[in-house]
Structure 1
Amino acid sequence: MATPMTDSTMLTRRGVLSAAAGALLLSGCGPTTAQDDAEPDGSASPGGPELLIGVSLELTGRGAALGVLQERALRISLEDINVERVQVGNLRRSVRLLVRDNRGDARLAARQTTDLIRDDHVHALLGTTLPETAMAVAGVAQRLRTPFVSLAHGDGIVLPLAQRTFSYKLTPDAADVARRLAQLARSEGLERVALLAADGLHGDSGVRAVTAALRTVGLELDRAVRLPRGGADFADAAEKTVADEPDGVILWSAAPDTGSAARALRRAGWRGPLFLDAAAVAEETLEGSNATAVEGAYAVHPACLGGSTLTNTTTAALARRDFVFRYIQQHGGFSGFAPYASDALRLIADAARLSTSIDRGRIRAFLQTLVTDGLVGPYAFTPIRHSGFERDSLGVYTVSGGSWVRIS
């Protein structure tokens, strides 16, 4: 799904990155030989003519609200890819996914990932929707030198770069999301904004990013309150957040905590503007009793949330439209789900195809130079930036009538 450079993109940032990527790869990789399909120890590659990808997802337990949706997306895209398979060197390889349910447990995710690499000999890894499980997988991936494409929110997954040379992240950076939220709050005429942030690594990123972003646009951070760990009662945190009657509240948390926290804020008497970060966007956030609590809330999210218009006929838009149609057919609805897992699968397949090899090191080398349009949005990876989502494609949405509606 990699997009070739055209005359109209020659002078864009992504066009320059494409040209630089080609030069880097030509200087850094030697010619492909039959040895490229061997393991680092020189033995024949296990798996035969397959490209094996290990998948770690939260299919049960904490994180399942997003993990199950990612598995659905994977199945749709895997079927598409395997129609013609992936041309890797002189072989067309089927893609096989080895899916593991990490149950939201970082230690289990690490053990499963170790087994996927050592016992199943996967060529690459993708997955996890929680930053804690993503960090666990990233640590194993680095130690065992296997490329990992993360679906979780949290900047530490790919930082510091010297310790994350095999990890890549598809979700927007916290600073980019916080910047758009702060600009939106300022445009609404707000002066004091309170922050209610999740526990854990995702919330940590949010506190840092929102604090800096509000300062940049001249707004006051009224207070920063953290949600209790482990899905406990959010009532106390909500009451503390609105105690000083701020002009607006930023809720920085992922589903399913977003809906619960929004309900707690409403029960605490909050009726003012509510702003959500990108991790809040999932079907569960708009379901049941959550719908009333988040009605009118704003969210910053990749532009795919608004769907494709009938007049948009780019390759990426057509692929996105087809994906949404098939998702609705199979699962009965599509309410703001961004298919990061589908993009991760295609990025790994593209890297293997471009590298003409299933060698883990070569797949990693080509991942870090991919410039492509995905279903979620455009990505531009570089050797010094493993968080590839392009900030310019973030959109601002509001919840209206139980749906996400783009307003800018």
Structure 2
Amino acid sequence: MRPIRSAIPALLASVIMATSLAGCQFGDAEQETGEILIGADLELSGAAAQVGKAYQRALELKVEQVNKSGALGGRKLRLDVRDNRFDQKVSESNIGDFTSNPAISAIIMGSCNECAISAAKTVNDKRVPTIALAPASEVAAPATDRRYMFKLGPNAQDNAAAIVSELTTREAKQVALLHTDDKYGQEGVQTLTAELAKADIELIRTRAVQPTDTDVSQAVRALVTPDPDTVIVWTPAEQATLASASLAQADFAGDVFFDGVAAGELFLGSGPRSAENTTMVFTQTMAIDDVIATTPAKAARKQWFLDYTARFGGYYGYSSFAADAVQLVVDAVGRASGNGGAPNRDTIRGLLETSETDGLSGPIRMTPENHSGLMPQALTLLVARGGRWRLAG
């Protein structure tokens, strides 16, 4: 059921962090420094620099908030941020450094699917709990082979199901798909093909682009000749923006859907409103102005949005996942301490595996069988109106 739109309540600024944690006791290295160290392997340059920098900003803001809250007692949370340049080999070097450092309690990885997948064996062998923000299912599945690897972000199966459900409502008959030629893009083709077949909707053609491509116009033109009812864009935000412009230039008059990976800036930029009326599957955070703060979790999401935009002058959709990753680690540390245990890497891993919270991104639940925490209920339909994202309906 779609959320009801509303104005922002006037007293939102009074919302404070709900998490209350006991003081933590770490190993010898942490006792000497008084720090809890999280390694962050992010795409700060190269093809995915925009989302990587958004992750860095979100991580730093969340760490600052945790430290100011005193949630960890006398200890302070600190990040060690490394740039992997969207390069698997560079990422492997970073992960090797992190896993060899006994002061590192956990690792957070960025949007690079191949980087996270390649890191799984190392973090398992070195027993360092790691939360990846990359979308491919293979990042965290099967859980039996990814005991120390977790994933936070939209899942291809959930996104595809939500898109096809709406296409069924709109009585779509023929669909074309633009996707990246990487792990997540290939997964999108597979899941959408299956979901569309169940709904008796024809996938008439697909076109792939490389994750590093800065021109998708040729692929888009091939998709819309002749016109399908709908075009689904299954790419990161920068390429989705390019695809919107190319669709407008091709005078495509059908429906356009974005997968959740396309969630980038709140405002859709200058120039012609080529994304106007585009539908996207994502979390409420991209349209938080339309959400009534009827629960502490919704109020916290509004406050996060306000804090982020006040600090950085804008909002990036995936920032909430990075903040939730920090909170999951902090919560695991607090639970271990509250139970009288020592929150070492193995303890943190075990507690991450049973995490259950209503986070900034929405409901999150990890289990021993499922290390991808974002629940389908976190997703909703958004629509581009007036140059920004709003709740659909």
- The TM-score, its normalising length taken from structure 2, stands at 0.87
What does residue 315 of structure 2 align with? 334
> 1:52 aligned to 32, 37, 47, which one?
37
SS at match of 1:395: strand
Q: Is the 8 A contact 1:56 1:113 kept in 2?
A: yes
Q: Is the 8 A contact 2:113 2:184 kept in 1?
A: yes
Structure 2 distance, partners of 1:76, 1:48, is 21
Does 2:293 match 1:312?
yes
Does 2:199 match 1:217?
yes
Q: Per-residue deviation at 1:355?
A: 1.7
What does residue 123 of structure 1 align with? 105
What does residue 20 of structure 1 align with? none
What does residue 181 of structure 2 align with? 199
> 2:85 aligned to 78, 93, 103, which one?
103
Cα deviations by residue, 1:136-166 (Å, 9 ceiling, x for unpaired): 3333212211111111111110112222111
Cα deviations by residue, 1:335-369 (Å, 9 ceiling, x for unpaired): 64541110000100101111223311110000010
> 1:81 aligned to 66, 69, 76, which one?
66
Structure 1 distance, partners of 2:334, 2:182, is 37
What does residue 329 of structure 2 align with? 348
Does 2:144 match 1:159?
no
Q: RMSD over aligned Cα, in angstroms?
A: 2.3
Cα deviations by residue, 1:60-107 (Å, 9 ceiling, x for unpaired): 1111121111111112211110024444xxx64211110111111111
Does 2:127 match 1:142?
no
Cα deviations by residue, 1:211-247 (Å, 9 ceiling, x for unpaired): 1111122211111211145315323211221123211
Letter in 2 for 1:391: P
What does residue 375 of structure 1 align with? 360
Q: Per-residue deviation at 1:264?
A: 2.5
Does 2:152 match 1:170?
yes
- Of stretches 73-82 and 278-287 in structure 1, the one that deviates more from structure 2 is 278-287
Q: Per-residue deviation at 1:333?
A: 2.3
Structure 1 distance, partners of 2:274, 2:88, is 31
What does residue 278 of structure 2 align with? 297
Does 2:268 match 1:268?
no
Letter in 2 for 1:395: T
Cα deviations by residue, 1:259-310 (Å, 9 ceiling, x for unpaired): 1222223333422111000011111871234x62211110000122221667
- Give 5+ residue unaligned stretches, structure 1: 5-33
Q: Evaluate the alpha carbon distance shift between residue 267 and residue 314 of structure 1 in structure 2; reply closer, same or farther with a 3 A threshold.
A: same
Does 2:347 match 1:365?
no
Letter in 1 for 2:178: L
Structure 1 distance, partners of 2:371, 2:269, is 34
Letter in 2 for 1:154: A
What does residue 283 of structure 1 align with? 265
SS at match of 2:273: helix
- Of stretches 47-56 and 229-238 in structure 1, the one that deviates more from structure 2 is 229-238
Q: Per-residue deviation at 1:46?
A: 7.2
SS at match of 2:327: helix
Structure 2 distance, partners of 1:269, 1:252, is 20
For residues 222-261 of structure 1, the aligned pairs below 5 Å read 222-228=204-210, 230-261=212-243
- Give 5+ residue unaligned stretches, structure 2: 1-16
Q: Evaluate the alpha carbon distance shift between residue 119 and residue 66 of structure 1 in structure 2; reply closer, same or farther with a 3 A threshold.
A: same
Structure 2 distance, partners of 1:301, 1:324, is 15
Q: Evaluate the alpha carbon distance shift between residue 55 and residue 337 of structure 1 in structure 2; reply closer, same or farther with a 3 A threshold.
A: closer
Q: Per-residue deviation at 1:180?
A: 0.7
- Of stretches 277-286 and 183-192 in structure 1, the one that deviates more from structure 2 is 277-286
Letter in 2 for 1:315: P
Q: Is the 8 A contact 1:2 1:373 kept in 2?
A: no
Q: Evaluate the alpha carbon distance shift between residue 203 and residue 360 of structure 1 in structure 2; reply closer, same or farther with a 3 A threshold.
A: same
Q: Is the 8 A contact 1:335 1:404 kept in 2?
A: no
What does residue 169 of structure 2 align with? 187
Structure 1 distance, partners of 2:211, 2:159, is 23
Percent of residue pairs identical: 31
Letter in 2 for 1:389: L
What count of residue pairs does the alignment treat as equivalent?
A: 370
Q: Is the 8 A contact 1:256 1:284 kept in 2?
A: no
SS at match of 1:286: coil
Q: Is the 8 A contact 1:255 1:285 kept in 2?
A: no
- The TM-score, its normalising length taken from structure 1, stands at 0.84
Q: Evaluate the alpha carbon distance shift between residue 407 and residue 310 of structure 1 in structure 2; reply closer, same or farther with a 3 A threshold.
A: closer
Structure 2 distance, partners of 1:396, 1:211, is 20
